Chain A
Amino acid sequence: MKNIILIIVSVLLISIDGFAQTPEEKGYAIQAEVNRRDNGFVDSMHEAYMTLRNARGEESTRLFMVKTLEVEGDGDKEIGVFQSPADVRGTAVLTHSHGLEPDDQWLYLPSLKRVKRISTVNKSGPFVGSEFAFEDIASWELEKYTYKYLRDEMLGEYDTFVVENIPAYEYSGYTRQVEWIDKTIYQPRRIDFYDRKNELLKTLIFSDYELHIDRFWKAGKLVMTNHQNGKSTELLRKNYKFRNGFSDRDFSVDALRNIR
C-alpha cells in the first residue's frame, strides 16, 4: 500500500516538475493530493478536548465527541456531542456541509428537549468561545478555496509546500490562509489566518500526527494562537476510531433528537 502511494507521489511530483504549471495549478494539485489521501475513510469518531486560555493564562476545558460520515459527491456529515461543561452536556450539533453552498446545521438542546435549526452563513465566529472559528474545524472540501502555490520551505524539521488558500465561500472571516503542507505525509503542519483587512490574525499548529488504519494521518494536537488578543486554544483529538459502520440515519435530524 505504502509503496503504491510512494509511486503515485513520485509520479505526481515528477509531473509537477515536468509541466510548466501556474502557481494556481500547482497549489490546487498539492491540495488535491491532500484531499485524495484523506478520502475513503468512510466514517470516523474521536474525542475532542478543547482548552481555552486567555491573556492572563486562565484556562477552561470543553469536551465533546465527534462522529463523521464521509459523503460521496457532497460535504461530509458530522455530529458533535458535548460532554462537558455539565450545563451543556448532551447538547449536540449536526452539520451537513455542502462545499460552496451554506451548510445545514441543527442543534439539539436537552434543556428544551428540542432541535433548533440555525442559520449557517455565520461560520466565522468563535466556536464555543474558543479561538477556533466553526469554519476552521468544519469539514474541509476542496472546492471551498482557490489555491496558489507559494514556495517550498523547511518548517523546522519538516520539508513543506507553502500554499495560499483563498476562501471561495461567502462570509468567511478571512481574506486568505497560508498553509504549510508536509511533503512526506501531505498533511498541514501550520496555517496562518489573515483577517478581513489582511493582517495576521491567528496561527494554527498541527502536531502529534498518528497514522490510523495504515492510511490516514490525523493530528492529535492543534494549537490555535490569536495574535491580536493574546488568547489561545488547544484542541486534543483522542481515541480515533475508523469504519464504525455509521449510516445516513445516524446523521439525520431525528437521530439528533434521540442522542444521549
Chain B
Amino acid sequence: MVQAYAQYILQQRWLIVVLCLSLTALAGYGIQYLHFKSDYRMFFSEDNPQLMAYESLQKTYTRDDNVLLVITPADGNVFTSRNLAVAEQLTRNLWQTPHSTRVDSITNFQHSYADGDDLTVKDLVINAAKLSDAEIAQIREYALNEPLLVNRLVSPDSRVMGFNVVIQRPGVNLDTETRDVTRFVRKQADQLKLQYPDLDIRITGSVMMDTAFAEASELDMRTLTPAMLAVIIVVLWFLLKSAWSVLAATVMITVSLVAAVGLAGWLDIAFSPSSIPAPTILLTLVVANTVHILTGYYKLLAKGKEKIQAMADNLSGNFKAIFFTNLSTAIGFLSMNFSESPPFRDLGNITAMGVGIAFMFAISLLPALVVSLPAPKNAFSARSNQLWERLANNILLHGKKYFILLSVLVMALIACIPLNTLDDEYVKYFDTSVQFRQDTDYTTDHLTGIYRIDYSLKSGAEGGINDPGFLRTVDAFAEWYRQQPETIHVFAITDILKRLNQNMHGDDPAWYRLPETSEMAAQYLLVFEMSLPYGLDLNDRIDVAKSATRVTASLHSISSQQVIDLEKRAQSWLDTYAPEFAHSDGTGTTLLFAHIGQRNIVSMIGGVLFAIGLISVLLMFVLKSASIGSLSLIPNLIPAGMAFGVWALLVGQVGMASSVVIAMTLGILVDDTVHFLSRYQYAREQLSLSPEDAVRYTFITVGAALWITSVVLILGFLILALSSFKINQEMGMLTAIIFALGLLADFLLLPPILMFIEKSKACSANKKSLRIQSATTLLK
C-alpha cells in the first residue's frame, strides 16, 4: 500500500510540490496574527493559588507594576543643589510616563511637619536649585532618618537615589503598553544622561522585567533560529557531502517552520520567552526526519537502484518507523500540556503541531523534491560501513562489561539527583549580558531590594486598622521583619502614624510613637489624607474599609528556598504573636516564582507518566512484542536520570524548565530506539539473521543515521543553551546532555538487552521443548 502511495506521489511529484507549497503559503499567512506575551504572569496558570492571592491583594490595594530608576551622581552625594534639582525635574517628567499612576522620589516625598497648630504636608524638596546649604543639610538629615525613604528611595550613604513609577496598564494590548512605558522611560534616561553625563542611570522594576522577557524572546528569535539553520546546513554538508541533499533538507525545514509558526498565528497561540525555542527545536526534529529518508534513499541509489524505485522502496521500508517516531515525538511534546506554566504548554503544542506538519511533508514533499533533484555521487562509502561493523563487534564482544560499567555509572549519577536544588530567582533568568540583570543587580547592591514579600494584615473589622492593639502588632511584625538578615526595607503604615503623632504634638520627638486611641489614629490619617496631592495617597497601604493594611518587605537577592524559608519564619512569628493574622500569607512575584519550580515538577509528573504510558504502548505495538517494547524504554528513561545527576554535579540548581525536559526528550529519544529495533527485527525476521548478525546489520544500516540525527539534535539544543534566557539555556543544556547519553545508551545498552531477551526466549523455548519431551516420555 505504501509502495503504491509512494509510486503515486512520485509520478505526480510536481503536483505534490505545488500542493505542499500552496498549503504552506496558506498556513504561513497566519504569521501576521502572531503576537508576543511578555507579562511575567504568563508563567502561571489562572488557577495558581499564589497568583490568585497576589491578584486579590492588588485588587484590594493597588496594582504593583512599576519602573524603578536608580541614579548615582558621580560626586557621590545626592544631597546637592544640582542633584536635587535633577531629581525634582525627573520626578515631574516621570508623571508623564504612559499609564503611570504614581511617582515616588525623595523630592516629592510628602513631608509633614507642625508649626504651632498648623500642619503642613508638602514635597520634601521644592525648588532645589535655590536651596541654601543649610536647607539642604536639613533635608538630608530628614531623609536619612525617614524609614519610608532610607533603603527604598535613597541609600543610607546618600550616594544613590531611586524614582519609583507605579504603572497601571489597561491591559487592552499589554505588550504594546509595556513597550510604550519602556520607550518613554528610556528616553527620559537618555536625555538626562545627555544633559548630565556624570549620572549613572539604571532602570529596573517589574515592567522592565516584562520588557526583558520580550527582548529576550526577540533576541532568541533573531539569533538562535538563524544560528541553528546555519549550523544545520554546515553539519548536513559535512555529513551528507551533497549540495542537493542540503538543499532538500533546507526546503523541508523552511516549509515546516513557516507552516507551524503560521498555524500558531492562526490558532492565536502567543509566543513567549519559553515558547520561542519551538522553531529551533522543530528545526532539529525536521532534520532528523529528513536525514533518515535521505540516507535510506542514497543507500538504495548506491546499490544501483533507479531513482523513483529507490525512493518508493525507501519510503515503504521506512514508513512505519517514520510514522511512529513522529508520533512518539508529538506525544512527548503534547505531554507538556500537563505543565503548570502555560508557556511550556504553548511550546509543546507549537512543536507537536510542527512535527505533524513535518511528517506530512516528509512523506510527500521531500520524496517528490529529492527525486526531481539530481542524485549525488558516492554519498556513502564502504568505509563508514566498516566503522559501524567494528563498533558492533566491539559491543557484542564486550557487551556485558559495558553493561555493568554503565549500570554503575547510572546508579551513581541517579544517586546525585537529590543534590539539585530548585531555584527560580527570576532576576537570574537573565544572564549578566542583559541590561535588566545588570541594572537590577546594581539596584539590589546599592539601593533597595527587587524581591519583595507582601502581606495584607486584616483586622477583621471595618476601621479596625486604627485599633491601637492592631497597630502595635503590625509594628512588631514590621520590626521583626527588619531584623531578618534577608531584609533590606519594610514599608508599613505604622511609620506614617508615628510621624503624624509627633506632628500633632508640635513635632516633639517624644511623641514619635503609635497613637494611643483608635480615634486619634483615624483622625490623624484623615488629616493626612486630606493633605496629600494627586497620586500620593495611602490607597496602596490601606483598603477601602480601613480594615486591612499592607506590609511590604524588600529583600536582598536570595534563592527561592531562602524566600520560602523566610516566609515560613514569618508565618510562625504570626502564629505565635498574632494568631489573628495567621491566614495573612505572604504574596508577590518573588513567592510566585519561588513556588513555580515545584508546582511545575508536580504537574509534570502526570505529563511524564502520560508520555511513558502512551509511548510504551506504542513501542509494544510497533515492535509487536511486549517484552522488547517495555525493555526498550530503559535506555530512553535512563539518560534523563543520568543527565540530572550530571547537572547536580556541574550546576546544582534547576528551575522550572527542568520539569518538562523528561517528557520532551523521551518522545525524541524513543525515535532512535524505534529505528534501531525495527531494523533489528527486520534483520531477524525477514533476513533470518542470528541475533549477533542482526545487531551488526542494524549498526551498519542505521548507525550512521542515528549518529547524524543525534549530532544534529545535540547541536540544536546546545544552540538553545546560548540563549540569554536561563530557562531556555537550562532546557537546552539538559536536553543536549540527555541526547548524548541517550545515544550512548542506545548503542551500549540496547544490544546487551536484546541478547538477554533472545537468550531468555531461547531458554524458555528449550524448557518448553524439554517439558514436551518429558511429557511424551511419561505418556509412553
Q: Does A212 contact B (CB under 8 A)?
A: no
When distances are taken between beta carbons in the complex, the residues of chain B under 8 Å from A117 are 117-119
Q: Does B532 contact A (CB under 8 A)?
A: yes
Which residues of chain A in 102-128 are interfacial with respect to chain B, using CB atoms and an 8 Å cutoff?
Answer: 105, 107, 109-112, 114-119, 121-122, 124-128
Interface segment among B58-66, B234-242, B478-486: the answer is: B58-66
Nearest B residue to A119, CB-CB = B120
Question: Smallest CB–CB gap between A199 and chain B, Å?
Answer: 7
Contact A122–B526 (Cβ < 8 Å):
no
Number of A-B contacts (CB under 8 A): 150
When distances are taken between beta carbons in the complex, the residues of chain B under 8 Å from A112 are 504, 520, 523
Question: Smallest CB–CB gap between A254 and chain B, Å?
Answer: 13
Which residues of chain A in 28-76 are interfacial with respect to chain B, using CB atoms and an 8 Å cutoff?
Answer: 52-56, 58-60
Contact B543–A58 (Cβ < 8 Å):
yes
**Known contacts A59-B545, A119-B121, A228-B101, A125 near B529 by CB under 8 Å:** yes
Contact B529–A114 (Cβ < 8 Å):
no
Contact A109–B531 (Cβ < 8 Å):
no
Q: Which of B95, B466, B529 has the most CB of A within 10 A?
A: B529
Contact A125–B59 (Cβ < 8 Å):
no
Q: Which of A116, A127, A171, A196 has the most CB of B within 10 A?
A: A116
**Known contacts A118-B530, A171-B533, A173-B534, A197 near B100 by CB under 8 Å:** yes
When distances are taken between beta carbons in the complex, the residues of chain A under 8 Å from B45 are none
When distances are taken between beta carbons in the complex, the residues of chain A under 8 Å from B97 are 197
Q: Give which listed residue, B99, B530, B543, contacts A107 with CB less than 8 A.
A: B530
Q: Give which listed residue, B60, B95, B119, B537, contacts A118 with CB less than 8 A.
A: B119
Bound CA span A126–B525, Å? 12
When distances are taken between beta carbons in the complex, the residues of chain B under 8 Å from A227 are 170
Nearest B residue to A116, CB-CB = B119
Contact B527–A124 (Cβ < 8 Å):
no
Bound CA span A52–B530, Å? 16
Bound CA span A246–B545, Å? 34
**Contact pattern, B 587-611, Cβ under 8 Å of A = 1, otherwise 0:** 0000000000000000000000000
Bound CA span A129–B520, Å? 17
**Known contacts A85-B463, A125-B533, A197-B100, A116 near B527 by CB under 8 Å:** yes
Contact A197–B96 (Cβ < 8 Å):
yes
By the criterion of a CB under 8 Å from any partner CB, how many residues of chain B are at the interface? 51
Bound CA span A85–B239, Å? 81
Bound CA span A173–B534, Å? 5
Question: Smallest CB–CB gap between B778 and chain A, Å?
Answer: 85
Bound CA span A118–B308, Å? 94
When distances are taken between beta carbons in the complex, the residues of chain A under 8 Å from B524 are 109
Contact B526–A88 (Cβ < 8 Å):
yes
Bound CA span A197–B543, Å? 26
Contact B101–A229 (Cβ < 8 Å):
yes
Question: Smallest CB–CB gap between A82 and chain B, Å?
Answer: 8
Q: Which of A60, A173, A227, A230 has the most CB of B within 10 A?
A: A60
Contact A60–B530 (Cβ < 8 Å):
no
Q: Give which listed residue, A88, A91, A125, A197, contacts B532 with CB less than 8 A.
A: A125
By the criterion of a CB under 8 Å from any partner CB, how many residues of chain A are at the interface? 48
**Known contacts A119-B120, A125-B533, A125-B537, A56 near B522 by CB under 8 Å:** no
Nearest A residue to B63, CB-CB = A229
**Contact pattern, B 21-64, Cβ under 8 Å of A = 1, otherwise 0:** 00000000000000000000000000000000000100110110
Contact B523–A52 (Cβ < 8 Å):
no
Q: Give which listed residue, B504, B518, B529, B544, contacts A116 with CB less than 8 A.
A: B504
Contact A229–B120 (Cβ < 8 Å):
no
Contact A121–B122 (Cβ < 8 Å):
yes
Q: Does B197 contact A (CB under 8 A)?
A: no
When distances are taken between beta carbons in the complex, the residues of chain B under 8 Å from A231 are 539, 544
**Known contacts A88-B526, A115-B117, A122-B121, A173 near B535 by CB under 8 Å:** yes
Question: Smallest CB–CB gap between B692 and chain A, Å?
Answer: 73
Contact A229–B526 (Cβ < 8 Å):
no
**Contact pattern, A 139-178, Cβ under 8 Å of B = 1, otherwise 0:** 0000000000000000000000000000000010100000
Contact B518–A87 (Cβ < 8 Å):
yes
**Known contacts A107-B530, A109-B527, A118-B530, A126 near B537 by CB under 8 Å:** yes
When distances are taken between beta carbons in the complex, the residues of chain A under 8 Å from B135 are none
**Known contacts A52-B544, A58-B543, A117-B117, A91 near B523 by CB under 8 Å:** yes
Question: Smallest CB–CB gap between B398 and chain A, Å?
Answer: 69
Contact A88–B522 (Cβ < 8 Å):
yes
Q: Give which listed residue, A109, A128, A199, contacts B529 with CB less than 8 A.
A: A128
When distances are taken between beta carbons in the complex, the residues of chain A under 8 Å from B539 are 126, 129, 229, 231
Which residues of chain B in 223-246 are interfacial with respect to chain A, using CB atoms and an 8 Å cutoff?
Answer: none
Q: Does B179 contact A (CB under 8 A)?
A: no
When distances are taken between beta carbons in the complex, the residues of chain A under 8 Å from B533 are 121-122, 124-125, 171, 173
Bound CA span A227–B99, Å? 11
Contact A86–B527 (Cβ < 8 Å):
no
Contact A87–B121 (Cβ < 8 Å):
no
When distances are taken between beta carbons in the complex, the residues of chain A under 8 Å from B520 are 109, 111-112
**Contact pattern, B 451-465, Cβ under 8 Å of A = 1, otherwise 0:** 000000000001100
Contact A110–B63 (Cβ < 8 Å):
no
Q: Give which listed residue, B59, B118, B519, B531, contacts A54 with CB less than 8 A.
A: B59
Contact A53–B544 (Cβ < 8 Å):
yes
Question: Smallest CB–CB gap between A13 and chain B, Å?
Answer: 37
Q: Does B145 contact A (CB under 8 A)?
A: no
Contact A228–B168 (Cβ < 8 Å):
yes
Bound CA span A246–B19, Å? 90
Contact A60–B462 (Cβ < 8 Å):
yes
Question: Smallest CB–CB gap between A64 and chain B, Å?
Answer: 11
Contact A129–B523 (Cβ < 8 Å):
no
Q: Does A134 contact B (CB under 8 A)?
A: yes
Q: Which of B62, B523, B542 has the most CB of A within 10 A?
A: B523
**Known contacts A119-B120, A122-B122, A56 near B60 by CB under 8 Å:** yes
Bound CA span A115–B520, Å? 13
Contact B522–A85 (Cβ < 8 Å):
yes
Nearest B residue to A93, CB-CB = B530
Bound CA span A114–B62, Å? 33
Question: Smallest CB–CB gap between B134 and chain A, Å?
Answer: 22
Nearest B residue to A84, CB-CB = B463
Question: Smallest CB–CB gap between B494 and chain A, Å?
Answer: 17
Contact A124–B534 (Cβ < 8 Å):
yes
Contact A129–B532 (Cβ < 8 Å):
no
When distances are taken between beta carbons in the complex, the residues of chain A under 8 Å from B100 are 197
When distances are taken between beta carbons in the complex, the residues of chain B under 8 Å from A124 are 533-535
Contact B534–A133 (Cβ < 8 Å):
yes
Contact B62–A129 (Cβ < 8 Å):
no
Question: Smallest CB–CB gap between A204 and chain B, Å?
Answer: 16
Q: Give which listed residue, B63, B529, B531, contacts A129 with CB less than 8 A.
A: B529
Q: Does B144 contact A (CB under 8 A)?
A: no
**Known contacts A122-B531, A124-B534, A125-B531, A109 near B523 by CB under 8 Å:** yes
Q: Give which listed residue, A55, A125, A173, A197, contacts B530 with CB less than 8 A.
A: A125
Contact B543–A54 (Cβ < 8 Å):
yes
When distances are taken between beta carbons in the complex, the residues of chain A under 8 Å from B519 are 87-88, 110-111
**Contact pattern, B 69-85, Cβ under 8 Å of A = 1, otherwise 0:** 00000000000000000
**Contact pattern, B 538-555, Cβ under 8 Å of A = 1, otherwise 0:** 110011111100000000
Nearest A residue to B56, CB-CB = A56
Bound CA span A68–B293, Å? 90
Contact A134–B544 (Cβ < 8 Å):
no
16 of the cross-chain contacts (CB-CB < 8 Å) are A53-B544, A54-B59, A58-B545, A60-B462, A82-B526, A85-B462, A87-B466, A93-B530, A109-B523, A110-B519, A121-B533, A129-B538, A134-B530, A227-B170, A228-B170, A229-B62
Give B residues with C-beta under 8 Å from A.
56, 59-60, 62-63, 95-101, 117-122, 168, 170, 462-463, 466, 504, 517-524, 526-527, 529-539, 542-547
Known: A109-B524, A117-B119, A119-B122. 18 other contacts (CB 8 A): A54-B544, A60-B545, A91-B526, A105-B530, A110-B519, A111-B520, A111-B523, A112-B523, A116-B504, A124-B535, A125-B530, A127-B530, A134-B530, A171-B533, A196-B534, A197-B95, A197-B97, A228-B101
